[in-house]
Structure 1
Amino acid sequence: MVLTGCLSGPSVTNASLAPETPNIAALTGGLLAQPGGVELPASAKRQALEAEYQALQFGRVGQPIDWSAEGFRGEVVPTQLYRVGSQDCRGYTHSVSRGTTTVRQIGTACRSGDLWTPV
């Protein structure tokens, strides 16, 4: 059981979620808010945003951060960090699934301090 967690990569669970933080709030207007995105219930959206933050802030290139809530599941996969002016930026892919339907979106966010803002 312990090895399963190591093999599948990190995930975000309800137990790891703190009350809304500025780090998570800064991502609210990102991929999940774009047209063509998936309409998520509040707790699933919270988990998805937490996974985005974890992937952007701490994720290894190509290593998925998984999440699940209320019948939805997803993964956020970050790309390599790069610099634009004085900001660190990175791309990411966020896939959201429910049943057999999956929506995959690609975005970029830049960091100012610990806050990641979608661009």
Structure 2
Amino acid sequence: MNRFSIIALPIAALVLAGCSSTGTTRVAQAPVVTQPAIVQPLVPTSAQNVQTAKLTTSIANGFVDPSALALMTAKDSNEANSAQFYALQFGRPGAPRQWAGDKGTTGSVAVGPYVRVNNLDCRDFTHTIKIGGTDYVKKGTACREQNGVWNVVQGTA
């Protein structure tokens, strides 16, 4: 009987396996998970404040030498403003951020480390602009206000 069960068991398994493959097979589909709708926060996040700060920080507010500002085109101003903001906001100390404008106008912005003054983040900066072979250099200190806007608090030409 022991031999019979050793031989019969595999044969029975093969017969049953053959029977199960002849019917239609139904495959259950897993539920589909959709992405939840993105809901805007009621309070602006820091990333949203950064974007607002970029739009309101202006090189015309003391970030560049006034004599250079008078010679700059709109593209020059936009490029310089963007470089100034990103250097202040994200720049590594001593690593200048380069920019290029119209007709060969170029510039760079170098910043120092963050310093905490009166509960505000402040940084020294040097903004150098080259227009027609002449260098215009503006050095100063800028602080980021509570609303994210960078303002020059001290500057020298």
| Contact preservation (8 Å) 2:53, 2:150 | no
Once the two structures are superposed, what CA deviation does each residue of 1:13-46 show, in whole Å capped at 9, x if it has no partner? xxxxxxx9542423341223x5444421111101
Q: Hey, which of these two has a bigger chunk of helix by percent? A: 2
Counterpart in the other structure of 1:54? 86
Q: Which has the higher contact order (CA 8 A, sep 6+)?
A: 1
Match of 1:80 among 113, 127, 131: 113
Counterpart in the other structure of 1:107? 140
1:115 shift after superposition? 1.9
Counterpart in the other structure of 2:61? 29
Counterpart in the other structure of 1:14? none
Secondary structure at the residue paired with 2:84? helix
| Contact preservation (8 Å) 1:24, 1:49 | no
Determine the C-alpha separation between the residues in 2 that align with 1:45 and 1:93: 16
Consecutive unaligned residues of structure 2, counting only runs of 5 or more, are 1-50
Structure 1 runs (4+) deviating above 3 angstroms are 34-38
Q: TM-score, normalised by structure 2?
A: 0.57
Consecutive unaligned residues of structure 1, counting only runs of 5 or more, are 1-19
| Contact preservation (8 Å) 1:75, 1:96 | yes
Give the aligned residue type for 1:41. T
Determine the C-alpha separation between the residues in 2 that align with 1:22 and 1:54: 10
Determine the C-alpha separation between the residues in 1 that align with 2:87 and 2:66: 22
State the number of aligned residues: 99
Secondary structure at the residue paired with 1:45? helix
Q: Hey, which of these two has a bigger chunk of strand by percent? A: 1
**Taking every aligned residue pair, what percent have the same amino acid on both sides?**
33
Determine the C-alpha separation between the residues in 2 that align with 1:45 and 1:108: 20
Q: TM-score, normalised by structure 1?
A: 0.73
